[in-house]
C-alpha cells in the first residue's frame, strides 16, 4: 500500500512538473511545427495515408501519430500543446508503470522506487515526455510487445492472449514510426533466446500466427497507401522506410560510434551510474535471474541495432532507456557502498551545483541567450545549485550517511522542482524560441493594414508557419526580397529583427528575436 501511494505521488509530481511546460512553451520549429502543418494539409486534402508537406509527398513517417494530431485539430479547431503533449506524457507514465509491474517479483520496493526516479528524470526520457513526437508512443508499444514476449516465454497465465497481443503491439510500433518497431523486438527476443541457450524456440514465439497478423496488417496498410497515393507514392514510401532511413540514410547521418558519445547525456544525470553498473555486471558475471538477463540483453541489443542503422538521433535511443535504468537498479545492491558508485553520483551533482554560476556567465557572454536573463530562470538555476550542494553534502557526510535511494530522491526532486520553476518563465522566452507570438502579431498587423500577403525571409522552417497563420506563407530568398521591397503591392514580411533594419520600412514590429515588417506601405 505504501509503495503504491509513493508511486502515485511520483506520477502526480511528474505531471505537476511538466504540465506548466506544456502550457507555456511554443512548438519547436523543425519537427513539431512540421507535423502540425502536414496534419492541416491532410485535413484540407481529405487524406489519411498519402500525406504531403506543402504539396510534396511526405513519406518519412507512418500515419498513426499524424492521425492523432489531425483528430485533435478536428475536435478542437486548433493545435494546443497541452493536449498534444499528453500523447507523450501519458505513454511515458504507462512505460514506467509497465516496467515497474514487470519487475515487481525481482526487485524490492526501494529498488523500484530508485529506478522509477532515475527513469523519469533521465535526460532523453524526461524531455521526450513533453515533446510532440512519435518516439515515446513507439517506445510504449515496443515495451508492451517485449512484455508480452516475456510473459509468453515465462509461461504466465493468459498465454493465448499474449500471442495475439505480441504481434499487434509490434504492428502499432511500426504504424507509429516504421521498421524499427519490428526490428527492435525481433533483435531483442532473438538475442535473449540465444543468450539463454533457447534459440531453437525462436519460432515458438515468432510463429505463423505472429507473422500472419503482421503481414495482414502491414498489407492492409500498404494497400491503403496505394489506393490513396498511387504506385509512385507507395514506392517512395517503401524505399524511404526500408532503405533510406534504415540502411542508406541521407539525413541524420552519423558514424557507428555516435551513441557511444551521446549515451552520456541521453541518460544524464545518471549516466555514470547506469552505464557503470551495467558494464560491471557483465564483467563480473553477476547476472543471476532470467529477468536480469533479459533487461541487460535488451539494453545492449537495442544499442547495437541502433548503432548499425544509418540514420541516428539521440531520441532514437529512447526504447532502450527503461531497460538500461531498471537493469542497473537490479544490480545496484551488488555494488552498494562502492566508492565508484558514490563518484558516479558526485560528478553530476557537482555539475548541477554549477548551474547558477554557469547561467550568469552564459547570459553575460552570449547575447543570443538573453531570453534566459529572467528571474525565474535564475530561481530554477538556484534550485539546481542548491540540490547539487545538498546531494554532495549528504553523499560525503560520514556522521549521517544516506543510502543511494535517498540520494537519488534528493537529486531527482531538485531536477523536477527546477523544471517546474523554469516553466513559468517560458511565456517571456517563447517569442525568442518559437513562431507562435510572431505569427499572432503578423495576423493582427494584417488585419489592421488589410494586407493579405505574408512572406518570410531568413527564417528556419518558415513554410510550416501555415499551421499558425491558417494560410500558405511565401518563403523568399536573398535575391527576391530586395526586388520586392520598395516596389509592387504591399506585403508583410516576417524575419529576424536584425534583418529588418536593411529594409527601410516605415512600420516594424519587433517580437522577441523576430520582426513583423510592413513592406511597400503607401
Q: For the chain, what are the domain ranges?
A: 31-335, 339-430, 435-519
In 3D space, the residue among 145, 158, 166, 151 whose CA is nearest the CA of residue 105 turns out to be 151
CA distance 509 to 440: 12
- pLDDT recorded at residue 159: 67
Q: How many CA atoms lie within 13 A of 503 on its CB side?
A: 30
Q: For 118-150, how does the pLDDT look when each residue is reduced to its tens digit (9 = 90+)?
A: 999 999 999 999 998 999 999 999 999 999 999
Mean pLDDT by 10 residues, the chain (522 residues): 74 86 87 92 93 90 94 93 93 94 87 91 92 94 96 77 92 94 96 92 91 96 94 88 62 81 92 92 76 93 91 91 94 80 92 95 88 92 95 79 82 93 89 88 92 90 90 86 74 89 84 89 72
- Angstrom CA distances, 211 to 156, 173, 190, 239, stand at 22, 15, 15, 21
Place of cell 536593411: 502
Q: How far out from the chain centre does Cα 364 lie?
A: 31
CA distance 174 to 138: 8
Q: Taking a C-beta distance cutoff of 8 angstroms, is the pair 295, 323 a contact?
A: yes
Q: For 174-221, how does the pLDDT look when each residue is reduced to its tens digit (9 = 90+)?
A: 999 989 999 999 999 999 999 988 999 999 999 999 999 999 999 999
Contacts of 52-56 spanning 24+ positions with Cβ under 8 A:
54/463, 54/466, 54/472
Amino acid at each position: 500500500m505504501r509503495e503504491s501511494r509513493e508511486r502515485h505521488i511520483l506520477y502526480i509530481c511528474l505531471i505537476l512538473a511538466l504540465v506548466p511546460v506544456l502550457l507555456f512553451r511554443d512548438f519547436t520549429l523543425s519537427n513539431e511545427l512540421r507535423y502540425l502543418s502536414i496534419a492541416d494539409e491532410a485535413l484540407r486534402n481529405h487524406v489519411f495515408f498519402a500525406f504531403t508537406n506543402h504539396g510534396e509527398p511526405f513519406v518519412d513517417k507512418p500515419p498513426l501519430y499524424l492521425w492523432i494530431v489531425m483528430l485533435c485539430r478536428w475536435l478542437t479547431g486548433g493545435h494546443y500543446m497541452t493536449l498534444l503533449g499528453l500523447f507523450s506524457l501519458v505513454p511515458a507514465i504507462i512505460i514506467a508503470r509497465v516496467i515497474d509491474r514487470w519487475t515487481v517479483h525481482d526487485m524490492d520496493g526501494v529498488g523500484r522506487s530508485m529506478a522509477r526516479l532515475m527513469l523519469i528524470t533521465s535526460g532523453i526520457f524526461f524531455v521526450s515526455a513533453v515533446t510532440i513526437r512519435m518516439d515515446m508512443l513507439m517506445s510504449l508499444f515496443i515495451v508492451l510487445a517485449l512484455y508480452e514476449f516475456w510473459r509468453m516465454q515465462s509461461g504466465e497465465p493468459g498465454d493465448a492472449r499474449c500471442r495475439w497481443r505480441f504481434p499487434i503491439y509490434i504492428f502499432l510500433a511500426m504504424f507509429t514510426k516504421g521498421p524499427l518497431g519490428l526490428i527492435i523486438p525481433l533483435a531483442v527476443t532473438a538475442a535473449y533466446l540465444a543468450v539463454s541457450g533457447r534459440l531453437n524456440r525462436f519460432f515458438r514465439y515468432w510463429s505463423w500466427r505472429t507473422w500472419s497478423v503482421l503481414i495482414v496488417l502491414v498489407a492492409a496498410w500498404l494497400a491503403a497507401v496505394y489506393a490513396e497515393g498511387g504506385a509512385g507514392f507507395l514506392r517512395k514510401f517503401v524505399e524511404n522506410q526500408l532503405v533510406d532511413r534504415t540502411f542508406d540514410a541521407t539525413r541524420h547521418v552519423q558514424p557507428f560510434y555516435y551513441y557511444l558519445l551521446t549515451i552520456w547525456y541521453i541518460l544524464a544525470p545518471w549516466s555514470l551510474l547506469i552505464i557503470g553498473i551495467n558494464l560491471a555486471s557483465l564483467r563480473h558475471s553477476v547476472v543471476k535471474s532470467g529477468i536480469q538477463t533479459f533487461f541487460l540483453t535488451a539494453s545492449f541489443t537495442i544499442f547495437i541495432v541502433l548503432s548499425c542503422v544509418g540514420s541516428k538521433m539521440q531520441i532514437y535511443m529512447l526504447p532502450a532507456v527503461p531497460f538500461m535504468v531498471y537493469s542497473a537498479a537490479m544490480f545496484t545492491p551488488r555494488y552498494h557502498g562502492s566508492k565508484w558508485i558514490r563518484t558516479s553520483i558526485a560528478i553530476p551533482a557537482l555539475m548541477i551545483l554549477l548551474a547558477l554560476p554557469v547561467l550568469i556567465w552564459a547570459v553575460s557572454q552570449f547575447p543570443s541567450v538573453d531570453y534566459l536573463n529572467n528571474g525565474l530562470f535564475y530561481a530554477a538555476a538556484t534550485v539546481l545549485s542548491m540540490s547539487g550542494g545538498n546531494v554532495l553534502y549528504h553523499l560525503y557526510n560520514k556522521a549521517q550517511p544516506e543510502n543511494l535511494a535517498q540520494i537519488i530522491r534528493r537529486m531527482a526532486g531538485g531536477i523536477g522542482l527546477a523544471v517546474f520553476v523554469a516553466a513559468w518563465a517560458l511565456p517571456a522566452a517563447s517569442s525568442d524560441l518559437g513562431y507562435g507570438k510572431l505569427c499572432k502579431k503578423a495576423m493582427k498587423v494584417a488585419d489592421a493594414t488589410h494586407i493579405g500577403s505574408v512572406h518570410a525571409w531568413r527564417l528556419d522552417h518558415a513554410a510550416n508557419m501555415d499551421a499558425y497563420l491558417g494560410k500558405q506563407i511565401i518563403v523568399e530568398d536573398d535575391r527576391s526580397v530586395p526586388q520586392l521591397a520598395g516596389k509592387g503591392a504591399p506585403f508583410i514580411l516576417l524575419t529576424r529583427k536584425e534583418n529588418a533594419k536593411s529594409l527601410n520600412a516605415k512600420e516594424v514590429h519587433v517580437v522577441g528575436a523576430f520582426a513583423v515588417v510592413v513592406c511597400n506601405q503607401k
